[in-house]
Amino acid sequence: MPFLKSLKIIALFQRRILPLALVLSIPVLFLSGGHFQFSGYSVLFLSLGLHYWTYNHKRPEAYYYYYNLGFSPVLLWASTLGLGLILLLISYLA
Amino acid sequence: MKTLHVDSIRKSFQNRVILSDIYLTCNQGEIVGLLGRNGMGKSTLLKIIFGSEKADQKFVRAGSRIVRNITDGRKLINYLPQENFMPNGVRIQKLIDLFLEPQHRQGILEHDYIKPLLYKKNGDLSGGERRIVEILLLLHSKADFLLLDEPFNGLSPVLRDYICEYIRQLTPQKGIIISDHDYVNIIKLSDRMLLLKDGHLREVKAHTELVELGYLPKSHS
C-alpha cells in the first residue's frame, strides 16, 4: 500500500481522536500556567482515552473498515500512541 | 485457482467449547453457505478466519499464504460484520476511494444504487443504504475471499434478490463464505451448505437435513 494512502487512512482513523484531544488540552495549558509539557501529557493520555472510548467502547464495528484495509488493532493503537508521543516531544521543544 | 483452507479451529469461552476441530475449505468461484442457530458461533468462526478474533488453535491458509492475523490476510480476505462498519461523518466517495484500488473503483462509482449516495455522508444514509454500500465495497475489493456475516440484514426483499444476483455474477473471481438467517437466499445462493451445531461443522446436502438437525422447524419439511 502506498505510504501516502496509509497516511490518509490513519488520518481518517484519527480524525475523531486527535483534534478533540488537542482542543481538550487547551484548558490544561491555561491551568498549568502555560507549561506546554503538561499540555503534551494531557494530549497523550486524552488521545489514548478517546481512542478507547470512540472505537472500543462506543462503536467497535468501526474497526472493521480499517481491518479490511490490513490495519491491525496493534497498528491502530500504535498510531494513537505514536502521534501522542510526537506531540509530547514537540511540547518539550516548544 | 486459490483455496481458502481452514483447519483445526478450536475456541472455548468460559470452559464452554464453542468451536471444536473446525475444518472447511472454499475455492475461488465457490459460495459456501454457513447456517446455524443463534449463539452457535458462526460470527466467531468468521472472525477467527479473518483474524480479528483469537482462537485457542487455528490454521488458516489463503492460496499459499498462511493467515495468522489481519495483516497476513490483507488483500486476501475481507470480512463484512453484522453491524454497519463504515466510519461516520465521511462522504461515501472518499470511503470508496480509500477502500478500493483505482482499477476496482469504476464499477461501484457508476453503480445505479451507489451513484446518488456518493456525496452523502455515511451517517446520513439509511441502514439499508449503508448495508448495500458495504456489500458492494467488499464485492469490488481486491480480496480473493469474502466472509459475509448476515449481509441481508436490513435489506428489503428486492434488494436481497439483487444482491444475490450480483454476488453470483462476481463469484468466478472470489470465494465467498456467507452466513445469514435468511436461509432461503442462502440455500439459493450456495454451492455447498454447512451447518454449525454444538461446536461442530457438518455438510448439509438436502433441505430435509436442516429439519432433521433441528435448524428448521418440522413445519418446513
Q: Could B87 and A62 be called an inter-chain contact, meaning their C-beta atoms sit closer than 8 Å?
A: yes
For residues B77 and B49, the answer to whether their CB atoms sit within 8 Å is yes
Q: Is it the case that residue B7 has pLDDT exceeding 80?
A: yes
Query: Which DSSP letter does residue A56 get?
Result: I
Tally of domains in chain B = 1
Three-state DSSP string of B42-89: HHHHHHHHHCCCCCCEEEEEECCEECCCCCCCCCCEEEECCCCCCCCC
Domain containing B162 — which CATH number?
Answer: 3.40.50.300
Q: How far apart are CA A79 and CA A68, in angstroms?
A: 17
Range from A32-36, A77-81, B125-129 carrying the lowest mean pLDDT: A32-36
C-alpha cell of residue B76:
486476501
Closest chain B CA to residue A54: B87
The answer to whether B123 contacts chain A (CB < 8 Å) is no
Would you state the pLDDT for residue A73? 94
Chain B neighbors of A9, CB-CB under 8 A: 98
Confidence band, pLDDT 50/70/90 cuts, at residue B107 = confident
Summarize pLDDT for A43-59 with one digit per residue, the tens.
Answer: 999 999 999 999 999 99
ipTM of the prediction: 0.93
Domain that holds residue B129: 3-220
**What's the pTM value of the predicted model, to 2 decimals?**
0.93
Which of these, B52, B98, B85, lies nearest to B71 by C-alpha position?
Answer: B52
Over residues B98-126, the mean pLDDT reads: 91
Binding-face residues of A in 55-94 toward B, CB within 8 A:
59, 61-65, 67-73, 75
Q: Please list, in sequence order, all residues whose beta carbon lies within 8 angstroms of the beta carbon of residue B177, skipping any fewer than 6 positions away.
A: B4, B24, B26, B32, B34, B46, B49, B145, B146, B147, B148
Confidence band, pLDDT 50/70/90 cuts, at residue A1 = low
Which of these, B1, B3, B2, B40, lies nearest to B22 by C-alpha position?
Answer: B40
Return mean pLDDT, chain B. Answer: 92
Return mean pLDDT, chain A. Answer: 93
Confidence band, pLDDT 50/70/90 cuts, at residue B4 = very high
Among partner residues B79, B88, B89, which is closest to A68 by beta-carbon distance? B79
Range from A22-36, B92-106, B121-135, B191-205 carrying the lowest mean pLDDT: A22-36
Q: Could A67 and B52 be called an inter-chain contact, meaning their C-beta atoms sit closer than 8 Å?
A: yes
C-alpha cell of residue A11:
488520518
Q: Is it the case that residue B23 has pLDDT exceeding 80?
A: yes
For residues B145 and B79, the answer to whether their CB atoms sit within 8 Å is no
CA atoms within 13 A of residue B203's CA, in its CB half-sphere? 9
Among partner residues B73, B74, B85, which is closest to A65 by beta-carbon distance? B85
Q: How far apart are CA A62 and CA A65, in angstroms?
A: 6
Disruptive mutation site among B53, B68, B78, B85 for chain A (greatest number of A CBs within 10 Å): B85
Q: How far apart are CA B8 and CA B22, in angstroms?
A: 5
